[in-house]
Structure 1
Amino acid sequence: MPLSLYSLAMAVFAMGTSEFMLAGLLPDIAADLGVTVGTAGTLTSAFAIGMIAGAPLMAGLARNRPPRSGLLVFLLVFVAAHVAGAATSSFPVLFATRIVAALANAGFLAVAVTTAAALVPANRKGRALAVLLSGTTVATVAGVPGGAVLGTLLGWRVTFWAVAVLCVPAAAGVLHGIPARSPGEPGGRVLRSELAQLRSRRLILVMLLGALVNAATFASFTFLAPVVTGTAGLDPLWIPVVLVLFGAGSFTGVTVAGRLSDRHSGLVLAAGGPLLLIGWPALAVLAGEPVVLLILVFVQGALSFAVGSTLITRVLYEAAGAPTMAGSYATAALNVGAAAGPLIAAATLGTAASGEGTGDLGPLWVSGLLVAIALLVALPSAVFRHGPLECGEEQRADPD
């Protein structure tokens, strides 16, 4: 893998830390700004909504600009949003800064995904995407738990400042690691022809499946903190431990899937999908046992990112005819799920009929339901039977 690809991963690490860190900060944010935990959870959805809208919009605006300059502009806007978020005492203002940060993140990631795919041979997109997404998974292993510790010890605002600081070396890595290119080099296609790729039924199907699986991931990940301190009865300092385990699992899953998704994606999906379906209800039933909770959190992190990253790799293959917009399609698919999952899960937090904390488990059941829907949608299709190379060949023969 080219060294410049790791520069992109460094920037994704900083942005991934911001995207996921709220999972360990929601109780503190809610208490400080005078809102409920469920309302605070909508900050995750706000970020995801900004990512959904921003991915195609920002990719379209930046498609004819040199990738390096576009990536740097997005990083600077991201930093400014975090400085504003750290300084505000208003929940609506914090909500707005999350949307702005998400727009910048979406633009960066959409360009980064396309750039990463262009840096490697055509049959190694899965490997390249795995390296890029490793920035996100390392964020869940190190950045997010570190943010949770900072938030517990020094307050949630410190984590926002820390993310802003993290972006400085990330920007330096992009500046020195990504070569400058002239506008239009990524393919020179008319935007209309790239948007026409969305007529492909197979592309839409894979994007839908990716959204459903990511919705399941975010539905539970966003509200792990209440499960740890409520259902499992652990001290708040265990929250970062659980987040580390989830992140370690996600890094394992995306790494293994990255080696398989270019040619054996059907195998990853056929094996990982049913296991993921079993895992979420099992976690809901056994969350009261701390040791089992820790084990299952790692397993679900691995399965979620293995299946999810494989589906997103297939989006890149299916959208091969849209070289400058494919990254935005993948980013949008990820974040439709990231927006919907916490919103659905938040509605279940108020279902506890007693003081025993049963409402904390609602998000885990939601995750199981979303994965079940994904499998039901996938079964009639060829998703489990064909790898992306074969799918890409079929798409070129029959784009609809």
Structure 2
Amino acid sequence: MNRGDRVVLRRAWWRSVVQIAVGTTAVLLLTGGVALLLVNEHQSETLDAELTAVLAVADDVDDPPPGSYLAHAGADGRTEVTPAAPPGVAAALTAAANGTVDDRHDVDTPEGTYRLEISDRETGRWVIANDLAALRTDQRRVLEAVLLAEATGLAAALAAAALLSRRSVQPLAEALELQRRFVADASHELRAPLTVLFTRAQMLAAHPAASVDPDLAEGLHGLVTDTRALGEVVEDLLVSAELDRQPERDHVVDLDDLAAGVVASTCAHAAARGVSVTHDPDPAGPHPVNGHAVALRRAILALVDNAIGHTPEGGHVRITVTGSAGSVALTVADDGIGIDPGRAEELFARSRHDDHGTTRRFGLGLALVRETARNHHGTVTADGAPGRGARFTLSLPRP
């Protein structure tokens, strides 16, 4: 499996894990929040019921339940408060017993927050104040238990999500590998007959009979050109399928040597189109990089072939290799129809095609250049202007 496929699968796996984690977290938070709300509400109602029960049977203020204090405002106008009540609580009890408030409510005192329950009976008004510290402690413990349960559930859900996502992505990995293997096998099978077809087309185009009939000569020339283009497409497919399956990617390769070899193999084709291809060796060379020679040569060839295809007769294509402290840059520049800088990224899309060159060009070659650059931990960029040529730069790290 190549690096691009691994990136796609890794992203799919992470996306699945994140989606499951977000969904699980939302469900856990919602469930935990509802449970916490219900438990707190139940605890509060239980406390209110207990306080109401105490007020229903209270006959003096001297013996309230633990954590509570009582007050009684009799018909004679006297108000009694539990002697042990702290000053702030006693003041709140006295105000409630002699006031007009009839409902239960919470009050803040210097000694803490207390809940007041009020009951009007024949013997007068009774008020009880209960310290809410115990209730708050119980609610905090419930909250901690809910958070611990949610954290445990989330951890278990993440582990399950990672396992299930890996299993769900596995068929995708197998499909990608099967697709790549099919492309490689088909390309291998097609390459040999296409080579034979191309050779026969060349022989027919060179036959004396072709020079007698101009229409026949033109048709044979088109057949040679189309067969060559088809062979290049098959070669690109093969390189794309096997780019990351090459075992020797840590060999030292000199980009100057590769550039010279590409010029030697393309000069005849370029000359037939009226285009010159030159390579200017850098006196500061050599410029070695770690990589696979076949893949890098194919990338350079794709850049040169693209430049030739977009350069009119009489144009020039120039290859330069320069080095810096940490990288080596190979630049293929032409004086052809140029490119729109704002759409430079589109040139590297696999599905892109362009009808503006001297021949119809497809984006597969440039897409393979970018894939090759990425697999060698480098980059490829495009620059230029309409009508003023284009410049493609392949940058790779030094060993």
Higher relative contact order (CA 8 A, sep 6+): 1
Superposition TM-score, scaled by structure 1 size: 0.24
Q: Which has the higher helix share?
A: 1
The structure number with the bigger radius of gyration is 2
Superposition TM-score, scaled by structure 2 size: 0.24
